[in-house]
Amino acid sequence: MIVVLKPGTTQKEIKKMVKYFNDLGFNVGVTNGINCTILGLVGDTSSLDIGKIERQENVEKVMRVQEPYKKANRKFHPEPTVVRVGKTAVGGGNFCVIAGPCSVESKSQIMDIAKKVAEAGAGMLRGGAFKPRTSPYSFQGLEMEGIELMLKAKAATGLPIVSEIMSPKMCDVFEEKVDVVQIGARNMQNFDLLKEVGKMTKPVLLKRGPSASYEELVMSAEYILAGGNENVILCERGIRTFETYTRNTLDISAIPSIKRMSHLPVVVDPSHACGASWMVEPLAMAAVAAGADGLLIEVHNDPKKALCDGQQSLTPEQFKDLMGKINTMLSLTSESMKKMCL
């Protein structure tokens, strides 16, 4: 249930209303918008008398929310969420490119890539240390050594680091060392992991599963939000369809659809969506045009010798060229330009 308060309602009156609903057994989320304050009630509100609530002095209107996701629902939080990672921001008009190798392979490799993507304008550095692979015989990552190498690259460049977590038992380590905790597509519905990550303070990058619906993705985010962690970034990385020409099928419609459903920022991973480096640029540009809040792009200094996903990785030179085109596209799709076109 959503309770919209009248403009001008004081903080004292807001706290009084929050206590009133808390005493009735509801968790209450408070969203301070530009023109009003919204109280989001989470729990079984079926017994509440809407008319009685609307008669209270500071209440503008009351609405029931039918969707199963509450905290992630845009109705609860009309303003877009902005996730801040150091000096970098994602969402609410802030566009961020996260770039780096699929896997951290060596100190020289990650340092070289980190410096070059930073120079090209990347806002964060991605790199896998714990790698979920289809085959148990494939390279599984350097694990903690990889995290430590990422930290060295962070110290050298200032870029916040993004890496995938595989197990709830690693939450303490990631809380201490990693700036953004990535939940991979295979773990999107690993609810034990989602619950533990929900207790963390670090932002979470949640990837859509290969067969997940929009609602299933948002419901997975709900697990994290329900745990108390409100800094969640959703990632569209392509879904599994009957088409075999590409690794996955990038669902561009997910961007406006999910942004309509939820206030959480949405970024796109064109590298995993297509599985081919030559296709990354057009898909990235399409994502920008569709309103994505950022991109997750794989970059490797020697793709042919990469231990993981070399075929879909850009070289640093290709990445720099793409960043120039992205900046041009962003200038064309800015809010001021949209208003001018209308």
Give pLDDT tens digits along the chain (342 positions): 999 999 989 999 999 999 999 999 998 989 887 778 999 998 888 888 999 999 999 999 999 888 999 999 999 899 999 999 999 999 999 999 999 999 999 999 999 999 999 999 999 999 999 977 777 767 778 999 999 999 999 999 999 999 999 999 999 999 999 999 999 999 999 999 999 999 999 999 999 999 999 999 999 999 999 999 999 999 999 999 999 999 999 999 999 999 999 999 999 999 999 999 999 999 999 999 999 999 999 999 999 999 988 999 999 999 999 999 999 999 887 654 444 433
Distance CA 113, CA 123 (A): 13
Question: Which pLDDT score is estimated for 47?
Answer: 85
Are 40 and 167 in the same domain? no
Report the pLDDT value the prediction gives residue 137, as an integer from 0 to 100: 67
- Predicted confidence at residue 340, as pLDDT, reads 40
Q: Are residues 58 and 89 in the same domain?
A: no
Is 245 buried (19+), middle (13-18) or exposed (0-12) by CB count in 10 A?
A: exposed
In a shared domain, residues 25 and 144 = no
> Can you say how many angstroms the Cα of residue 27 is from the centroid of all Cα atoms in its chain?
24
Q: Is 155 exposed, middle or buried (0-12, 13-18, 19+ CB in 10 A)?
A: exposed
Q: Does residue 322 sit within a domain?
A: yes
Q: Say if residue 182 is in the same domain as residue 270.
A: yes
Give the Cα separation of 333 and 330 in Å (integer). 5
Q: How far is CA 318 from CA 6, 120, 322, in A?
A: 52, 10, 6
Residue 180 lies in a domain: yes
Q: In which region does residue 267 sit, left (phi positive, over 0), alpha (psi from -120 to 50) or beta (all else)?
A: beta
Task: Confirm whether 75 is domain-assigned.
Answer: no
Provide the angle, in degrees to the nearest 10, between the axes of the packed helices 144-157 and 107-120: 40
Q: Are residues 148 and 47 in the same domain?
A: no
Rounded CA-CA distance 257/291 in Å is 11
**CATH of residue 330:** 3.20.20.70
Specify whether 10 is located in the same domain as 58.
Answer: yes
Expressed as residue numbers, the domain containing 262 is: 83-341
Give, for 148, the enclosing helix (H) or strand (E): helix 144-157
Q: Indicate the residue type of 179.
A: D
The answer to whether residue 311 is domain-embedded is: yes
257 plus 223 within the same structural domain: yes
What are the backbone dihedrals phi and psi of residue 225, each rounded to the nearest 5 degrees, phi first? -65, -40
For residue 24, the domain's CATH number is 3.30.70.1140
In a domain, 77, yes or no: no
Residue 58 inside a domain? The answer is yes
49 and 159 share one domain: no
In a domain, 78, yes or no: no
Count structural domains, the chain.
2
Write down the pTM of the prediction.
0.90
**9 and 158 share one domain:** no
Whose CA is closest to 129, among 140, 137, 118?
140
**Is 288 found in the same domain as 142?**
yes
Asked if residue 164 and residue 136 are part of one domain, the reply reads yes
Q: Determine, yes or no, domain membership for 71.
A: no
189 and 113 together in one domain: yes
